Structures are given as C-alpha cells and as structure tokens.
Amino acid sequence: MVLKAFFPTCCASADSGLLVGRWVPEQSSAVVLAVVHFPFIPIQVKELLAQVQQASRVGVAVLGTWCHRRQEPEESLGHFLEGLGTIFSHEPWLQLCRERGSKFWSCKATHWQVPISPGAPGEDQVMLIFYDQRKVLLSQLHPPAALPDHQAGDATASAGGLAAVFDTVARSEALFRSDRFDEGLVRLSHWQSEGVEASILVELAKRASGPVCLLLAYLLSLISAASTCWIFKLWPLSFIWSKLSTCEQLRHRLEQLTFIFSTQKAENASQLMRKANMLVSVLLDVALGFALLSWLHGKDRIGQLADALVPVADRVAEELQHLLQWLMGAPAGLKMNRALDQVLGRFFLYHIHLWISYIHLMSPFIERILWHMGLSACLGLTVALSILSDIIALLTFHIYCFYVYGARLYCLKICGLSSLWRLFRGKKWNVLRQRVDSCSYDLDQLFIGTLLFTVLVFLLPTTALYYLVFTLLRLLVVTVQGLIHLLVDLINSLPLYALGLRLCRPYRLSAGVKFQVLEHEAGRPLRLLMQINPLPYNRVVHTYRLPSCGCHPKHSWGSLCRKLFFGELIYPWRQRGDKQD
C-alpha cells in the first residue's frame, strides 16, 4: 500500500524531532502540521496535543519522527525511534530523513502490530508531498466545476482528499500560535515559528470594530423603523416608493449596510466573503459618488446643466411636433384615414403644448432642484444614477403617455379583430373555461360583425402607424434607462473584494491543486510539490456575485416581441410575476 505524507516546506530545514499532524485513514494520508524538537518530555507533548485537539476538534497526534541530515548514528537512532513508537503508539509510524549533504530523502512507514513475517515489522511505500503551509491555511478550496459523467467519480474522490488536507490545516490554527520567542516547554517548527504575523493597525481595527458596528447597527435599525412607518404606507407615498428607482436603491443599500454592520459573527467563510464584498462595493460606490459630487460643484457645472436642460426639452418637444405634423399628412406616401389621423394628431399636439408649459413653469426651480439632487451623490454613485433614471422618466413622461394611448388603441383593435375573426368561423372565446368553443350566430350578428370588422381593418393602419412611432420612442427611453440600471447592478453585484484577492493573492481562492515532480528515481520515494490552482475570474464572479436590487424585469426576446405585436404595455419597473393592467 502507498501512503501519502503531506509535509510542509517550512519544516524542510528544521532540526530533528517528532512529526505532529493528523492521520486520514480514508485517504491513507498523513498531514504533517509541525515538528516537535528534541529535547522534550513526552507528557508535555501529549498535553499540548490534547489542548490543540480540544480547541480545533482535529485528531492531532504524533505521526512519527523527523531526522535532518542523519545527525544521530544509525544504531542509536533505530533504538530511539523504536522507543518513541512505543511511547506514542501510532499506526503507521512514519520515519522521514533527509540525506546529509544531498537532496535525497528517505521515507518509511512501519506497522509494528501487523508484521509481514514473524519478528519483522511491515513497511509501506511512502509518497512525499510538499505543500506551502501558509498558503494552504489561508486558502479556501472551492468544489470542482461540472465535469462529464465518466470523470465525476474521480473528481469527487480527489476533491474529498484535498478537502481533508485543507480542512486539517485550516482548523489547526491553534497549533501555529507559538513561535521561537515564546518560553514554552515544547519547541515547534511551523510556518509561524520564526515569528507570528501581526499588525498593530489590524489589531486596533479589530478592537474598534465591535463598538463601531454596535453603534451603526443601532442607527440603521432606527432608519429601518422610520422607513416602515405607517405614513409611508399611505397610497400616494407607497405608490411612489414602489415605482422610483431611487427608493429601490436606497432600500437595497439599507439592507446591505444592515448585513455588513450586524453584530452577529460570520458563520462560515462564504458569509465572511459576502460581507467583505458588500463593504468594498459600498466604499467604492461612496468614493465614486464623492468624485461625482466634486465634479458637479466645480466650475458651476450644475448651473450649466440647468441652463442647458430647458433648451433640450424645448428641442425635443419641437421635434415631436414636427413628427406629429408629418404623421398628420401622408407619411412615406401612405394613405391614412383622414378623420382619425387629424383627431390623433391634434390630441397629441395638445399634450405637447401642456408639456412645454409645464417645463417653462418649472424652469426657475430647476437649478435648485439639481443642486439638491447633486448632494445625494454623497450616498453613492448608484443613488445618483438612480436619480438620473427617475429624472429621465419624468422628462419623457409625455412620450410615455403617447405610447400608452397608442398601445391601448392598437390593442383594442387587435382584440376586436381577433374576436370578429372567430365570429366568421363560427367560434367564440369561452371566458369561464378559457378556451375557444363552437357557436352558432344568426344573420344579423354576422352582418353587424362584418361591418365592424371592415371598419376596424381600414382604421388599423392609421392606429398601427402612431403605435409604431411612439413605441420606438418609448423603447429608446427604456434602453437608456436599462443601460443606467445595468451600470447600477454592476456596481451593486460585482464581487470586488474577491476579484482583488484573485488578482493580488490568487492562492486565497483555490480551484484545486497541481503537482510538480521533484524526484522520481528507482529505490527512492516519489517526491511531489503541491501547488494551488487559482480560481478562474469567471468562476470568482459567478460564485461571489452579490444580489442586486432587481427593480426591472428581465424579458426574453420572445415575450418582448409578443407584447409589442399585441400592444401590451412594457413596464420597466414591473417584476416578472406582478399583475399587469
């Protein structure tokens, strides 16, 4: 049987001593965590291992001995190792030795209780695998991606063995808290034996994070209680709160901040990573918001935007008037219904006149409104972009009204024509059973149906042309708002902290390992170097992507084309399962 011994590279130059680690019988593997140096008292080593086992819940034991460059004579070393195997009694008993003045190693795994022949202990072949203890400790192993069926079993088995190694090193952190500056009775060698890594700034931040999180959690709870007040549940306020993108974004940020500054400790590494991603996302959002705020208030750019806003609105209204006048004539040489064309054109022209009057009435207050809205950028760039989306919706409200009027008329005629078409075929729509049933009609009903069908058919081109033009304008506005919402969702959901770890410390996010052959000679144990494969960027984004506010639906192309053809309204603020008008 071949045994796998995982040996930390930091202990390759350590002095002789005992190998301390965990034995994984399912994988026939020994994970070496540290080396206990001579001289030592066995009872003190056992007490240390008992403390580590109680703190980490890992079965830490003495796995064997480590001999550096054969400093002890062969005969005395053999008797000494046999004595240690009797004291600590572990099966199998590992003996790792490094050759003097060479790069060769010798590895033995001895079974004292199961001999091959009477009077001779049994020995197994050992595969020595070196690993970087610090990287494995700080790394987080992710499950493998979806593989074909014939590779799924092998991938699961290998992932389970690697998970046992990573879990053993991660949970044995209590063993790595002592270094050479401690005055303990047992001297160890591990990745922190030369000095424990620490930072004064990090320690101060840890001690200050408790009171700060408690204070911020209390303030956020007050804001959440105020937002759920009964005043905001009244009809006008509740309608505005559910339709404006700014309110949706503020609610989303409030939920994120409540989760970040929660006083409850993160249960696992995934939840801790989620908190870190949210914190970095909020900090970047606020930093970009302050950059936008400084740009807006520099060189009187808000006044310039206010002065340019009214002429742009007048220009848009003027172009709409020219478009309506073109539709009221003979657009593209099409012969329209004169009476219906004039009624629809004058109706829409009157709405444009009302809109121009409204814009000029609000023009003295636009600069002040923009100034106060610019201050909202201190809450984050996403809040400013949401306000921009709401401003676009308010400035194009007349286009939305034109689209609704045209869509309702077009939908009414489509429904009328489909109903009258069923009348010609002797069928009707059964409302109770939600199906088409056969029906017999008399002569008068067929005559009236023929007249109405003829009228709707000849009026349909005029209505369809107005519907087509205003639908294109509406889709243009919805596209601009969709791009803004896409940018907001990108800032909200992008796992920036995880991407930063993948860029600066790729070993922190592990997708697996690869092995490099260090020595493969006959009569010598196989020596491998375990290296961590970093998680690909696409899997980092897919695994740690944050939930977005989701204030707009995700229509498929098929459903969108169906809605446009039948004249159904497109609501950018509706969710997928909401009831529509």
Task: Determine the pLDDT at residue 182.
Answer: 65
pLDDT tens digits, residue range 271-302? 889 999 999 999 999 999 999 888 888 777 88
Task: Determine the pLDDT at residue 199.
Answer: 66
Task: Determine the pLDDT at residue 397.
Answer: 84
Residues 6+ apart with CB under 8 A from 68: 13, 14, 15, 16, 97, 98
How far is 440 from 428, CA to CA, in rounded Å?
Answer: 9
Beta strands in 69-104 (DSSP E): 93-98
Name the phi and psi angles at 210, rounded to 5: -60, -60
Token readout for 266 is 């993160």
pLDDT tens digits, residue range 47-71? 888 888 888 888 888 888 888 764 5
SS3 label, residue 435: strand
How far is 57 from 468, CA to CA, in rounded Å?
Answer: 69
**Tokens 């008399």 -> residue:** 442
Residues 6+ apart with CB under 8 A from 30: 3, 4, 5, 6, 19, 21, 22, 23, 24, 63, 64, 94
Q: What is the DSSP letter of 202?
A: H
Pairing verdict, β 122-131 and 435-438: unpaired
> Which letter, b or e, does each residue of 250-289 get, where b requires 16 or more Cβ atoms within 10 Å of its Cβ?
bbbbeebbeebbeeeeeeeeeeebbbbbbbbbbebbbebb
The answer to whether 281 and 546 have CB atoms below 8 angstroms apart is yes
pTM above 0.95, yes or no: no
Q: What is the DSSP letter of 423?
A: H
The residues facing 130 across adjacent strands are 7, 529
Q: Give kind and range of the element (H or E) at residue 389.
A: helix 381-395
Q: Which of 265, 267, 260, 266 is nearest to 282 (CA)?
A: 260
Which DSSP string do the residues of 243-277 spell out, in sequence order?
Answer: H-HHHHHHHHHHHHHHHHT-SSPPSSHHHHHHHHH
Task: Determine the pLDDT at residue 571.
Answer: 67
Task: Determine the pLDDT at residue 125.
Answer: 81
Residues 6+ apart with CB under 8 A from 299: none
Task: Determine the pLDDT at residue 114.
Answer: 53
The residues facing 512 across adjacent strands are 533
How far is 193 from 178, CA to CA, in rounded Å?
Answer: 7
Task: Determine the pLDDT at residue 557.
Answer: 76
Which residues of the chain fall below pLDDT 50? 70, 72, 74, 116-120, 146-157, 573-581
Residues 6+ apart with CB under 8 A from 234: none
Token readout for 217 is 């959690």
